[in-house]
A and B are shown apart, each in its own frame.
Chain A
Amino acid sequence: MRILPLLKGCRAVSVVGTGKGSGKTTTCNYILAEAQKDRRLGITSFGLGGTQTLLEIPQNSLIALAKNCEIAKKLELLDETDAETPWGPVVIGRAKEDIQTIIAGPLCLSDLKKIKDRLLSLGCDLVVIDSVLDKKSSSSSRVCDCFILSAGIDFSDRDSMYEEIQSQVEVLSIPVATSLPPSFDKHYAKVQEKWIPFDIKDIPANLLLEAEEIFWPGAFVGGSVNLIAGWKTSLPVIVEEPWQLFLSSSAWRNLKRDGWIFKSCFHSPIALVTLNPCSSSGFSINPREFLIRTSEMLGPLKVINLKLNE
Chain B
Amino acid sequence: MSDLFLDRDTRERVEWDYLLSLLEVRSPLGLQYKNRLKPYLPGEEKELKEELRRSQKFSQFISQNRDWLHQLSSNLQELKDLRNSLKKAKEGGRLSVTELFEIKRFLFILENLKGLMRNRELSWLARFRPKGAPALFRILNKGNQSPQSFYLVDEYSPQLKKLRREKLELRSKLEQEKSRIVEELRKMGLEHFHQGEITLQKETPEASKILSHPLIYLKSENLHSLVFAPRLSSEALKWSGRIKEIEVEEAKREKEVCQVLSRKVANFAESLEQDTERVAYLDFLLAKSEAALNYGGIMPQILKGEGKTSVSMSNGVHLPLALRLKEKGYRFHPLSIHLKEGAALLTGANMSGKTVLLKTVGLNVCLAQHGMLVPAKSFKLRPFDFVFFSTRGKEQDGLSAFGAEISGLKRALSLSKKRGLFLVDELARGTNPKEGFAINAAILKFLSDTKSTSLFTSHFDGLARVCRVEHWQMAGLGNISLDQVKLLVKGASEDLILTLMEYRLEKVKKEQAVPHDALKIALLLGLDEVVIELAETFLKKV
Interface size class of B (residues with CB under 8 A): 20 to 34
Q: Write the chain B residue with the least CB distance to A29.
A: B195
Contacts A88-B98, A307-B199; A77 near B194 (Cβ below 8 A) = no
By a beta-carbon cutoff of 8 Å, the part of chain A in contact with chain B is 29-30, 33, 56, 67-68, 72-73, 75-80, 88, 91, 93-94, 96-98, 277-278, 282-288, 306-309
Q: Write the chain B residue with the least CB distance to A289.
A: B224
Contacts A72-B97, A287-B201; A278 near B145 (Cβ below 8 A) = no
Binary flags per residue of B79-111, CB closer than 8 Å to A gives 1, else 0: 010000000000000001110011001000000
Q: Which of A80, A283, A285, A287 contacts B101 (CB 8 A)?
A: A80
User: CB distance B98 to A77 under 8 Å?
Assistant: yes
User: CB distance B254 to A284 under 8 Å?
Assistant: no
Contacts A73-B96, A287-B201; A278 near B101 (Cβ below 8 A) = no
| B402 at the binding interface (Cβ < 8 Å) | no
User: CB distance A30 to B194 under 8 Å?
Assistant: yes
| B222 at the binding interface (Cβ < 8 Å) | yes
User: CB distance A278 to B222 under 8 Å?
Assistant: yes
Q: Choose, from B147-155, B356-364, B509-517, B532-540, the stretch at the interface.
A: B147-155
Give CA–CA (A56, B171) in the complex, Å.
Answer: 15
**A60 nearest CB across to chain B (Å):** 13
Binary flags per residue of B6-34, CB closer than 8 Å to A gives 1, else 0: 00000000000000000000000000000
User: CB distance A80 to B80 under 8 Å?
Assistant: yes
User: CB distance B199 to A284 under 8 Å?
Assistant: no
By a beta-carbon cutoff of 8 Å, the part of chain B in contact with chain A is 80, 96-98, 101-102, 105, 145-146, 148-152, 168, 171, 191-192, 194-195, 199-201, 222-225, 227, 254
User: CB distance B225 to A278 under 8 Å?
Assistant: yes
**A253 nearest CB across to chain B (Å):** 29
8 additional A-B pairs beyond A67-B98, A283-B222, A308-B200, beta carbons within 8 Å, are A56-B195, A73-B96, A73-B152, A91-B101, A278-B222, A278-B225, A284-B224, A287-B225
Residues of chain A with a CB closer than 8 A to B194's CB: 29-30, 33, 306-307
Residues of chain B with a CB closer than 8 A to A67's CB: 98
User: CB distance B98 to A284 under 8 Å?
Assistant: no
Give CA–CA (A307, B223) in the complex, Å.
Answer: 15
Contacts A73-B96, A308-B199; A78 near B149 (Cβ below 8 A) = yes
Residues of chain B with a CB closer than 8 A to A284's CB: 222-225
Mind listing 25 A-B residue pairs with CB under 8 Å? A29-B194, A72-B97, A72-B98, A76-B145, A76-B150, A76-B151, A77-B101, A77-B149, A78-B146, A78-B149, A91-B98, A94-B149, A98-B171, A277-B225, A278-B225, A284-B225, A285-B224, A287-B225, A288-B201, A306-B194, A307-B227, A308-B192, A308-B200, A308-B225, A309-B192
Give CA–CA (A68, B99) in the complex, Å.
Answer: 10
User: CB distance A96 to B151 under 8 Å?
Assistant: yes
Residues of chain B with a CB closer than 8 A to A73's CB: 96-97, 152, 254
Residues of chain B with a CB closer than 8 A to A288's CB: 201
Contacts A33-B195, A288-B201, A308-B199; A77 near B224 (Cβ below 8 A) = no
- A94, A284, A285 interface centre (most CB from chain B within 10 Å): A284
Give CA–CA (A56, B197) in the complex, Å.
Answer: 14
Give CA–CA (A277, B227) in the complex, Å.
Answer: 13
Residues of chain A with a CB closer than 8 A to B80's CB: 80
**A59 nearest CB across to chain B (Å):** 10
Q: Write the chain B residue with the least CB distance to A75.
A: B151
Residues of chain A with a CB closer than 8 A to B97's CB: 72-73, 77
Residues of chain B with a CB closer than 8 A to A30's CB: 194
Give CA–CA (A88, B200) in the complex, Å.
Answer: 42
Residues of chain B with a CB closer than 8 A to A29's CB: 194-195
Q: Write the chain A residue with the least CB distance to B80.
A: A80
**A106 nearest CB across to chain B (Å):** 16
Q: Write the chain A residue with the least CB distance to B99.
A: A67
**A180 nearest CB across to chain B (Å):** 27
Give CA–CA (A106, B360) in the complex, Å.
Answer: 45
Residues of chain A with a CB closer than 8 A to B224's CB: 277, 284-287
- B105, B145, B168, B195 interface centre (most CB from chain A within 10 Å): B195
Residues of chain A with a CB closer than 8 A to B171's CB: 97-98
Residues of chain B with a CB closer than 8 A to A287's CB: 201, 224-225
Q: Write the chain B residue with the least CB distance to A98.
A: B171
**B66 nearest CB across to chain A (Å):** 24
